[in-house]
Chains A and B, each alone.
Chain A
Amino acid sequence: MNINLTLVVQMIVFILLIWFTMKFVWPMILGPMNERETRIAHGLAAAEKGEQELAAARDQAETIVREARERASHIIEQAQHAARDLVEQAKGAARSEGARLVAAAQQQIELDTTRAREALRREVAGIAVRAAAKLLGREIDARSHADLLDKFAAQV
């Protein structure tokens, strides 16, 4: 066992190897490692952000659905109300139309009745005059006895 030139050669090899590792190995391995680390950190942060956004979107969607449901029920209520109104209106219109028709019919009936009574009265007056003339034996001048006749007719 002795110290010899091997020592110097080994030192040179050692220094060269350190230089090689420092220049071509260490940074090329640690660089991508650190880069990957930051990328993973970014990815995790993005995932968390995405999750938060998803939760927010879900909340928003829920709000929108709730609002839509409320509006829909409101609209349905309104429609039911309107339909009821419409029915009521139609009912009212029908009722008044019926009343009008009834009134018109009654009027017509009254008119016809009056007219019939008038005709009947004339008929009765005529018959009465004729009967009176027969009784009296002479013709009653309709014109000279108009007042009398009218009075009679009114009594009938």
Chain B
Amino acid sequence: MAGMVAAEQTGGATEYIVHHETFLSNKVPHGIVDFSAINLDTVFFSVLLAVLFGGAFWLAARRATTGVPGKFQLFVEVLVNFIDNQVKDTFHGTSKLIAPLALTIFCWILLFNIMDLVPVDLLPAAAHQAGFQHLKVVPSTDLNATFAMSISVFVLMIFYSVKMKGFIGFISELTLHPFTAKNVFVQALLVPVNFLLESVTLLARPVSLSLRLYGNLYAGEMIFLLLAALTLSQGLGSLASIGGWTWIIVQIALGFVWSVFHVLIIVLQAFIFMVLTIVYLALASEHH
């Protein structure tokens, strides 16, 4: 919520926001797709959070006892039990992958999103002191991160479809629904139509999955940035006057209100991503 970069910005709110929305990259990427560029901040924070999640849960798993559980073990067990129930409710089959996958998705995305609650200027300002021009701390506001997960889930969907129905079954599901005809020739004419519809349905899943998460978190971050740009720049510009301090108090109040509201979005989006992943994988492995 608080920071000092805002006051240092000379170009006003637009430059402030653009500055905050620029990744720490090895080079300036060209166009929409450029595989020679890499967002170092996204990779750094997601690996850091992955290590945090993996390490904490690994410690809990290693110390897990069948006797009376400790507080941390209890917390982990509640989470595991909650996700296990979610998976059992939706996915009717045996899979050693789905439940751990769901746990990973939920915890990782939750940690991504929680980074949004760190005051927007805090880490970028620290990075600025260390000599880095830009820093984006919330990996789920990077399309690369959200698409990486949804594409992985998409690959798993295809894998489960083919595994449970066979390649022929998978293809026929794509081409013989929703329109069917008894006449072979009519059916042959319907195949392209079906294929178009079913492909869109199938492809919409990973796209919506990643865009939903990205959009929610991007918007949340944008509101924090706007609050900071509109109030902090005014406030820090005139610290000598009562008006300046009023702006800072307004910033703290608004930032607090939005943080409280945003906590809901943070958990909800992680939960939605997880549940939809389970649902999509359940749909993929069911016969129609």
Expressed in whole angstroms, the minimum distance between the Cβ of B281 and any Cβ of chain A is: 13
Expressed in whole angstroms, the minimum distance between the Cβ of A72 and any Cβ of chain B is: 51
In this complex, the member of B42, B100, B142 whose beta carbon has the largest number of chain A beta carbons within 10 angstroms is: B100
Question: Is A36's CB within 8 Å of the partner chain B?
Answer: yes
Q: How many A-B residue pairs have CB under 8 A?
A: 132
Contacts of A26 in B (CB 8 A): 61, 80, 99-100, 103
Whether A6 lies near B66 (C-beta < 8 A) is no
With A13-B47, A21-B54, A25-B61 as given contacts, are A2 and B80 in contact (CB-CB < 8 Å)? Answer: no
Whether A29 lies near B148 (C-beta < 8 A) is no
Contacts of B61 in A (CB 8 A): 24-26, 28-29
Whether B33 lies near A4 (C-beta < 8 A) is yes
B interface list, Cβ under 8 A from A: 21, 25, 29, 31-39, 42-43, 46-47, 50, 53-54, 57-58, 60-62, 64-67, 69, 76-77, 80-81, 84, 96-97, 99-101, 103-104, 108, 139, 142-145, 147-149, 151-152
Whether A33 lies near B143 (C-beta < 8 A) is no
Q: Whose C-beta in chain A lies nearest to the C-beta of B67? A: A36
Q: Which of B67, B69, B101, B147 contacts A22 (CB 8 A)?
A: B101
Contacts of B76 in A (CB 8 A): 29
Whether A33 lies near B77 (C-beta < 8 A) is yes
Q: Whose C-beta in chain A lies nearest to the C-beta of B33? A: A3
CA distance A4 to B30 in the complex (A): 10
Question: Is A1's CB within 8 Å of the partner chain B?
Answer: yes
Contacts of B69 in A (CB 8 A): 36
Contacts of B144 in A (CB 8 A): 3-4, 6-7, 10
Question: Is A137's CB within 8 Å of the partner chain B?
Answer: no
Whether A5 lies near B151 (C-beta < 8 A) is no
Whether B60 lies near A29 (C-beta < 8 A) is yes
Expressed in whole angstroms, the minimum distance between the Cβ of B191 and any Cβ of chain A is: 32
CA distance A3 to B142 in the complex (A): 9
In this complex, the member of A10, A13, A39 whose beta carbon has the largest number of chain B beta carbons within 10 angstroms is: A10
